[in-house]
Amino acid sequence: MKFAKALASATILAACTFGSASAAELVVGFSQIGSESGWRAAETTLTKQQAEQRGIDLKFADAQQKQENQIKAIRSFIAQGVNAILVAPVVATGWDEVLQEAKDAEIPVILLDRTVDASDDLYLTAVTSDLVHEGNVAGKWLADTVAGKPCNVVELQGTTGSSPAIDRKKGFEQALSGHDNLKIIRSQTGDFTRTKGKEVMESFLKAEGGGKNICALYAHNDDMAVGAIQAIKEAGLKPGTDILVVSIDAVPDIFQAMAAGEANATVELTPNMAGPAFDALAAYLKDKKAPAKWIQTESKLYTQADDPMKVYEEKKGLGY
């Protein structure tokens, strides 16, 4: 049965890959977390573009940041008999049962940009960056920048229980170990959003002498950093000089902040996770050869030295 189903999908795929108008389209369900950040919105835009270019009929479901909505969407995709399912899992736990249901229905699942604490035989592959490495790059940049001077750091964490929040924290702390001059004095989730990032930064500033006790902010994404920059300015301080700002994603707006001297560094995360995912799916449906369980995307450090306005212009068109 398995092979027959795969053969059917491969036939559909082969036809639509070669653009035969008569072939039914490959149907793929996409359970997206929501639109909590500029990066997330770009990932959605690019996934839809990639599907369109490949003649894939994409069934899109926005979970509004709720795992139960993602689980409902995956069950609906299974009931529709889609050929494959993409999931960007909002948190790392609680997926075993629904992923097993997809497996029992012989529908391959591909994880996008976040991982899950489940056996890897429950998904075809995961397309993500090395989230620990991203935190590491950010921490190393800060350690090199302060160069041994005492520096109290505040941290805006991503969504509680999500793999980026867990791993970016881990990588950052690894980079700080051995640098006793660097100390994380406050750490709290800003849920990857600008609004929450601003709110939590306001509370950090209030709690730390109006901010004079804070040397640097590490935010798990640029959107929280942009919100925090607003809070730092409203507290009468200069972000980027009074308080160094390092974050992750490399969305256009952080380059505008860098150009204004209000942010210092960001680690790039590509929003095009769907391209590698659809390529892996096509290969799998064609010859049943399972891809590696992890397709890793690049992480690149950008600082104020990298002509931020030029990068801003380049990125503006890429799905953001």
**Does position 167 bind ligand GZL by CB under 6 A?**
no
Binding residue (CB under 6 A) for ligand GZL from 113, 167, 253, 268: 113
**Does position 36 bind ligand GZL by CB under 6 A?**
yes
**Which amino acid, residue 144?**
D
Q: Which is nearer to ligand GZL, 50 or 65 (CB)?
A: 65
Binding residue (CB under 6 A) for ligand GZL from 54, 59, 114, 186: 114
Distance from C-alpha of 267 to C-alpha of 291, rounded to nearest angstrom = 27
Binding residue (CB under 6 A) for ligand GZL from 16, 31, 40, 265: 40
Distance from C-alpha of 85 to C-alpha of 61, rounded to nearest angstrom = 11
CA distances from 305 to 68, 255, 258, 268, 311 (A): 43, 11, 9, 15, 11
CB of 204 to ligand GZL, least distance (A): 20
Instruction: Name which of 124, 68, 55, 56 is nearest 97 in CA terms.
Output: 68
Q: Which is nearer to ligand GZL, 307 or 320 (CB)?
A: 320
**Does position 37 bind ligand GZL by CB under 6 A?**
yes
CB 223 within 8 A of CB 251: yes
Cα Dmax for the chain:
68
CB of 82 to ligand GZL, least distance (A): 23
Q: Which is nearer to ligand GZL, 113 or 155 (CB)?
A: 113
CB 255 within 8 A of CB 315: yes
Q: Which is nearer to ligand GZL, 59 or 220 (CB)?
A: 220
CB atoms within 10 A of CB 218: 30
- What number of CA atoms fall less than 13 Å from residue 274's CA on the CB side? 28
3-class SS of residue 8: helix
Torsion of CA 78, 83, 87, 93, to 10 degrees: 50
Which one of the spans 36-44, 49-57, 231-239, 307-315 is the region binding ligand GZL (CB under 6 A)?
36-44
Distance from C-alpha of 95 to C-alpha of 301, rounded to nearest angstrom = 32
3-class SS of residue 250: coil
CB of 160 to ligand GZL, least distance (A): 13
CB of 206 to ligand GZL, least distance (A): 26
Binding residue (CB under 6 A) for ligand GZL from 55, 139, 164, 240: 164
Q: Which is nearer to ligand GZL, 50 or 163 (CB)?
A: 163
Q: How far is CA 191 from the centre of its chain?
A: 12
Q: Which is nearer to ligand GZL, 10 or 251 (CB)?
A: 251
Per-residue binder mask for ligand GZL (CB under 6 A), 170-189, x = binder:
--------------------
Residue list 193-222, contact with ligand GZL (CB under 6 A): 221
* Residue 97 structure tokens: 């049962």
Residue list 219-278, contact with ligand GZL (CB under 6 A): 221, 223, 248-249, 269
Which residues of the chain form contacts with ligand GZL (CB under 6 A)?
36-37, 39-40, 113-114, 164, 192, 221, 223, 248-249, 269
